[in-house]
Amino acid sequence: MTRTLPVINIKAQSSHHALFLMLVALIITFSTLVFSQGYWRQFQLVFTFIYLCSLVTFITGLAKYLEPKYSLCLNPKSIKYQHRYGHWKIDWQQIQRISLINETSGLTKIQLPYIGIRLKNVSTLADKISPRLANRLIHEQKPLVAFAMSQDLLPLGQSLLNFEPFILPSGETLTGPLAAFLHHCSLLNQSLGYHLFLPETAIDRDLNEFCTLLTQCMRSSTEYN
What are 74-103's pLDDT values in tens digits? 999 999 999 989 999 999 999 999 999 988
Rounded to the nearest angstrom, the gap between the alpha carbon of residue 59 and the centroid of all alpha carbons in its chain is 20
For residue 16, the model assigns a pLDDT of 63
Question: Of 57-61, 62-66, 201-205, 207-211, which range is least confident?
Answer: 62-66
- Please tell me the predicted confidence (pLDDT) of residue 80: 95
pTM over 0.85: no
Whether residue 2 has pLDDT greater than 50: no
pLDDT at 1: 42
**Comparing 182 with 67, which gets the higher pLDDT?**
182
Q: Which residue type occupies 143? A: P
Question: Please, what is the average pLDDT of the chain?
Answer: 86
Confidence of residue 42 (pLDDT cuts 50, 70, 90): confident
Please state, in angstroms and rounded to a whole number, the distance separating the CA atoms of residues 162 and 36.
55
Of all residues in the chain, the percent with pLDDT exceeding 90 is 40
* Residue 96, pLDDT score: 95
Has residue 140 got a pLDDT over 50? Answer: yes
Per-residue model confidence (pLDDT) at position 172: 86
pLDDT band at 4 (very low <50, low <70, confident <90, very high): low
Mean pLDDT of 49-71: 82
Q: Does the pLDDT at position 40 exceed 80?
A: no
- Give the residue with greater pLDDT, 146 vs 162: 146
